[in-house]
Amino acid sequence: MDALATYQAVKERFGAKVLEINEKALDPFMVVDPSAIVEICRFLRDHPETAMNCLTNEIGVDYKDRIEVVYELYSYPKRYGVTLKVKLPRDNPVVETVETVWKSANWMEREIFDLIGVTFQGHSDLRRILMPEDWPGHPQRKDFVEPMEYHGISTVRDSPIIRMEADRK
Query: How is 144-169 classified by DSSP, letter by letter?
Result: ----SEETTEE-----HHHHHHHHH-
pLDDT of residue 122: 97
Question: What is the enclosing helix (H) or strand (E) of 121?
Answer: strand 119-121
pLDDT of residue 166: 57
Tell me if 84 sits within 8 A of 73, measured CB to CB. Answer: yes
**CB-based contacts of 59: which residues, under 8 Å, 6+ apart?**
69, 70, 72, 108, 112
Tell me if 166 sits within 8 A of 142, measured CB to CB. Answer: no
Number of domains in the chain: 1
What pTM value is reported for the model?
A: 0.89
pLDDT of residue 169: 59
Q: What is the DSSP letter of 136?
A: -
Length of the chain: 169
Q: Which domain range does residue 86 map to?
A: 3-168
Tell me if 141 sits within 8 A of 113, measured CB to CB. Answer: no
CATH, residue 72: 3.30.460.80
Q: Render pLDDT for 1-15 as a digit per residue (tens, 0 to 9).
A: 899 999 999 999 999
List, for the chain, all residue ranges whose pLDDT scores fall below the cut of 50. Answer: none
Tell me if 57 sits within 8 A of 74, measured CB to CB. Answer: no
Half-sphere exposure of 4 (CA within 13 A, CB side): 7
